[in-house]
Amino acid sequence: MKVAIIPGDGIGKEVLPSALSVLDAFGLDIEKVPLKIGYDKWKKTGSAITDDDIALIKQCDCVLFGAITTVPDPNYRSVLMLLRKELDLYANIRPFTPLEKVKLPCARKFDFVIVRENTEGMYSGVEELHEDVAYTTRIITRKGSARIAEKACKLANMRKKELTIVHKANVLKSDSFFRDVCTGVAKKNGIAYNEMLVDAMAYDMILHPGKYDVIVTTNLFGDILSDEAAAMVGGLGLCPSANIGDKYALFEPIHGSAPDIAGKGIANPIAAILSVKMMLEYAGHTREAISIFIAVNKVIDMGIVTPDLGGTYSTIDVSNAIIKLIR
């Protein structure tokens, strides 16, 4: 397997090396293609990512991504969004399973996955900025809705076979369209489904998280709900994600580059390490993926955690402890 390695900026440069050291502990046959992409590159060269970078990425099977700082330029388009579009990574899979011993702000008993449409909706990129008005066109296509619904049904089939379709169809025509396509796909696949309006979902997810299994939604709603879910499992430092297309995949922690703590060596590497776990699952290395999950739970149990979880350990301490357990 050939993997493009993009640490990016800020804590991406700290958590990704930590996660790679965990990956290396398995001694798998993985060819790494390191790439310097992001804000630092933009400062030096005027572009955050080049066509050559994209060509190199397309020669790989998947990407491991850290985090990239948004460049302060009104014409700048997020590198992450560009890669999602360019590689057609239409499904953003975000699992929320509480880890043992992590203190939660809500009920403990839940285990759900947000399946976020990742290439259209409010992120269409069709925008206009004028003196007194600005437009963003929210594009929802039949193809885009059907393929994300298919992904969600496939996942539901491997889990409790329950799908929740989240939308705002009471206000947005584009969302009644999204809902109708999703319900059609669920019926075709024999998956039991229910619907939630996104505002009610934001509320109920906290009160009754145990009710949910697979949640499918549009791009921006998925972005917002997944940060809420991250708070429910104990913080963004714990949450991985997989951006999946038919040809490529990109694995990344949900968190950003966190400039406020960058360079201090205290960023939580668990989200990045669990992103490696998702990559290993994708590549069929199930045994290794399970052993990462067990080791992550164990280090938390042992109290070897970074300050975001109330500990005093460094990024590297955490990954070293995980590696020791794996060995």
Q: Which residues bind ligand IPM (CB under 6 A)?
A: 78, 80-81, 223, 254, 256
168 is catalytic: yes
Which option in ligand IPM, Mg ion, none does residue 117 bind, with CB closer than 5 to 8 A by kind? none
88 is catalytic: no
The closest residue (CB) to ligand IPM is 78
What is the per-residue binding string for Mg ion in 189-228, x denoting contact by CB under 5 A? ----------------------------------x-----
Distance CA 75, CA 296 (A): 40
Q: Which is nearer to Mg ion, 78 or 183 (CB)?
A: 78
The closest residue (CB) to Mg ion is 223
State the catalytic residue, choosing from 213, 223, 308, 317.
Answer: 223
| Residue 61 vs residues 91, 149, 239: alpha-carbon distances, Å | 16, 24, 23
Q: Which is nearer to Mg ion, 278 or 325 (CB)?
A: 278
Minimum Å gap between C-beta 105 and Mg ion is 19
In degrees and rounded to multiples of 5, residue 128 shows phi and psi of -140, 130
Distance CA 318, CA 225 (A): 28
User: Cβ distance 77 to 125 under 8 Å?
Assistant: yes
Minimum Å gap between C-beta 123 and ligand IPM is 7
Q: Which is nearer to ligand IPM, 193 or 221 (CB)?
A: 221
Q: Which is nearer to ligand IPM, 118 or 314 (CB)?
A: 118
Task: Give the distance, in angstroms, between the CA of residue 221 and the centroid of all CA atoms in the same chain.
Answer: 14
Neighbour-count burial for 258-288, b at 16+ CB within 10 Å, e otherwise: beebbeeebbbbbbbbbbbbbbbbbbebeeb
Minimum Å gap between C-beta 142 and Mg ion is 26
301 is catalytic: no
Is residue 117 involved in binding Mg ion (CB under 5 A)? no
Q: What sections of 76-193 are H helices per DSSP?
A: 79-86, 142-158, 173-189
Neighbours of 155 (CB within 10 A): 20
User: Cβ distance 184 to 178 under 8 Å?
Assistant: no
State the catalytic residue, choosing from 24, 73, 199, 246.
Answer: 199
Binding site for Mg ion (CB under 5 A): 223
Active site residues: 123, 168, 199, 223, 227
